[in-house]
Amino acid sequence: LRHRIDAFQVTAVERSATGPDPRAGTGVLLAIGAAVRAREVLRFDHTPAYPAHPADAGDAVVAPRRVEPHHLAVRGGRWYLVAWDLDRDDWRVFRADRITPRTPTGPRFTPRRLPGDDVAAFLTGRFRGLETSPEWPCRGEAVLRLPASAVVPHVAEGTVEELGPDRCRVGLGSWSWPALAAAFSAFDADVEAVGPPALRAAFARLADRCARAADDPAVPREGNP
Helical spans, DSSP H, in the chain: 2-6, 26-38, 54-57, 119-127, 148-151, 177-185, 197-214
Q: Is residue 222 part of a domain?
A: no
Are residues 89 and 26 located together in one domain of the fold?
yes
Q: Tell me, what's the pLDDT at 2?
A: 47
Are residues 22 and 63 located together in one domain of the fold?
yes
Q: What residues make up the domain containing 190?
A: 138-214
**pLDDT over threshold 50, residue 19:** no
Residue that terminates a domain, selected from 72, 102, 127: 127
Segment 123-152 mean pLDDT: 77
Q: Tell me, what's the pLDDT at 84?
A: 94
Are residues 89 and 119 located together in one domain of the fold?
yes
Are residues 52 and 106 located together in one domain of the fold?
yes
Are residues 49 and 81 located together in one domain of the fold?
yes
The CATH number of the domain holding residue 187 is: 3.30.70.250
User: Is the Cβ–Cβ distance between 42 and 105 less than 8 Å?
Assistant: yes
- Residues 37-70 have pLDDT tens digits of 899 999 999 887 655 555 445 555 678 899 999 9
Are residues 153 and 183 located together in one domain of the fold?
yes
Question: In degrees to the nearest 10, what's the CA dihedral of 94, 85, 101, 49?
Answer: 30
**pTM here?**
0.55
> Which of 98, 103, 84 shows the shortest CA–CA distance to 31?
103
